[in-house]
Amino acid sequence: MSQIDNDMNAEQQRAFLEWRDLRNKAEATGDMADAHAAGKAFGTFFYAYVANTYRPAPSTGHRP
């Protein structure tokens, strides 16, 4: 089982807060445009946190 580090750098923190705020707005308004914006923000957060932090090194032979 992998252990995910809870520490975020500034870029990751900013992306998380943006996603959280947009998600809350979408939940409150029920507007599809707000939900779409929240989904895009989650993608940004995911890439900044998971894909960048936990991408396998090229030397492992795994595809990024």
Domain boundaries, the chain: 10-53
pTM score: 0.69
Confidence (pLDDT) at 6: 65
What's phi and psi for 9, nearest 5 deg? -85, 180
Confidence (pLDDT) at 23: 97
* Integer Cα distance of 53 and 3 in angstroms: 12
8 Å CB contact between 45 and 14: no
Query: Residues 11-58: pLDDT tens digits?
Result: 888 999 999 999 999 999 999 999 999 999 999 999 888 776 666 666
Q: Say which DSSP state 8 is in.
A: -
* Integer Cα distance of 44 and 37 in angstroms: 11
